[in-house]
Amino acid sequence: MAAGRGAELLRPPMSSGRATFLELFFDLAFVVALTRVSQRFADLSNDTGWALVTGFGRTLLLFLALWLIWSHTTWITSRYEPERSVIQAVVVGTMFAGLVMAVALPRATEERALPFAAAYLMVMLVRPLVVAAALRGHPRRLVPFRLAAWAAASAPLWLAGALGPERLRLPLWAAALAVDYLAWALGWPLPWVGASAVHSWRIAGTHLADRHQQMFLIALGESILVIGTVFSGTDYSAERAAAFGVAFTTSALLWRTYFHRAGLLLTEALGRARMPGRLGTASERTHLLIVLSVLVTSVGYELVIDHPYGPPRPSWLLFVVGGPVLFLVARMRLEYEIFGRVSRSRVIGVVALLLLTPALVRGAPMVGLSVVAAVLALVVLLDALRGRGRPSEVSASPIGREAPGDRDSEA
């Protein structure tokens, strides 16, 4: 009987795959967070050498912590019924914690370390316990208990990093985050209880795809916000206007490249997969790279619009060229996940950008961004030529096919 009451929390087979308005509301906190991440990356533009490496590492760590919060929430709403009041309370509470993390993020590795860590731990520790209590006697309650147990194991590292010397903060938090990601990859194994591999979970695959696509659009929207904000806040000139136009064109090309075939068919692929959790796990990692690449690219927009023909700075190529390269590599991975192949256009784009990078070191920032836009335009053109006159493809993912012994142990 208890299991029956707890089962009310699970997503029914006929549940809508579309994201709820609450989830879209939840994403607003992460719009703020991604903007803060982008700004932290931008603050590194004048750094070189070891300062650039450590600064990039700190910001990447904070981004990965935010991504873990967002991704866990997405899996929760894909696994449980988001219209239930308990799940809605969980989402709203997570949104508040995410907003606290976003507010603390600009100085999260300095004097605001404790609020950032406390908000993170509130989600990782308290949220699974609430879900476990709501599941009552249902067998799936063991999954959130696993999450809480592993979060408790990494909590001392988060708190020691927040309260201890600043020089130890980065290594302690890196170790804590490694524990959290390792636990997720292994299925949060516990003695006598075993593990619950995420890829074997029963989820609403179409919902998960919808959420990943929305997060990409949110990141792309953040880049548009950067373009508009930076251009409106600087003195007008023809050079800055041209940089504004090239930056917008680059974002439009990123959108087109993502949604051409593979990105558009992500929902279909997850909906058709026998094991949507397996494909969803791969897609989540791919979209982590895609979102990160868009954030890094948006920093390049800011630098170029501010100083389109300023003196060349090699470190700027990390953002102007590095972001688009990472995007194309991640997009190649997405294409493999959907079709089991990789188009030559993506490979050509990556190779072209890598070969041109040494020459761009001595060029003005505007030249670098223009070359990036031209290469992305070439990728889009090759995609269009390849698809001309051919019937629309259907997803044929090599991931998500059920293997012997695969099952959801808490189903």
Both 94 and 232 in one domain: the answer is no
Both 371 and 349 in one domain: the answer is yes
Both 209 and 324 in one domain: the answer is yes
H helices, E strands: number in the chain? 16, 0
What gap in Å lies between CA 385 and CA 249, rounded to an integer? Answer: 20
For tokens 């041109």, the residue is 356
Is there a domain that residue 404 lies in? no
Is the separation of the CB atoms in 198 and 75 below 8 Å? yes
Is there a domain that residue 156 lies in? yes
The H or E element containing residue 200 is none
| pLDDT score for 411 | 42
Both 163 and 214 in one domain: the answer is no
CA distances from 307 to 3, 270, 287, 299, 365 (A): 62, 43, 30, 12, 7
The beta-strand segments (E) located in 160-291 are: none
Both 189 and 287 in one domain: the answer is no
Give the range of the structural domain holding residue 372, as residue numbers without chain letter: 205-387
Q: How far is CA 345 from the centre of its chain?
A: 24
Is there a domain that residue 402 lies in? no
Both 210 and 181 in one domain: the answer is no
| pLDDT score for 13 | 65
Of 137, 171, 196, which one is at a domain's C-terminal end? 196
Q: What is the pTM of this model?
A: 0.92
Is there a domain that residue 396 lies in? no
Is there a domain that residue 219 lies in? yes
Both 219 and 144 in one domain: the answer is no
| pLDDT score for 273 | 76
Q: What is the DSSP-derived secondary structure letter of residue 192?
A: T
Both 192 and 274 in one domain: the answer is no
Total count of domains within the chain? 2
| Per-position pLDDT tens, the chain of length 411 | 445 556 677 777 666 667 788 888 898 888 999 999 999 998 887 877 788 889 999 999 999 999 999 999 998 888 888 888 898 999 999 999 999 999 999 999 899 999 999 999 999 999 999 998 888 877 778 888 999 999 999 999 999 999 999 889 999 999 999 999 999 999 899 888 788 877 777 777 788 888 999 999 999 999 999 999 888 877 888 999 999 999 999 999 999 999 988 888 888 888 777 778 888 888 999 999 999 999 999 999 999 999 899 888 888 999 999 999 999 999 999 999 998 889 899 999 999 999 999 999 988 999 999 999 999 999 999 998 887 777 777 777 788 565 544 444 444
**Tokens found for residue 359:** 């020459």
Both 152 and 27 in one domain: the answer is yes
Among 189, 219, 202, 256, smallest CA distance to 70 is for 219
Instruction: Find the radius of gyration of the CA atoms of the chain.
Output: 22
Both 290 and 183 in one domain: the answer is no
Q: What is the DSSP-derived secondary structure letter of residue 262?
A: I
Is there a domain that residue 249 lies in? yes
Residues 6+ apart with CB under 8 A from 251: 220, 223, 224, 227, 301
Both 100 and 168 in one domain: the answer is yes
- The vertex-358 CA angle with 354 and 361, nearest 5°, equals 120
| pLDDT score for 121 | 96
Both 376 and 347 in one domain: the answer is yes
Give the number of other CB atoms < 10 A from CB of residue 334. Answer: 24
For tokens 């494909």, the residue is 279
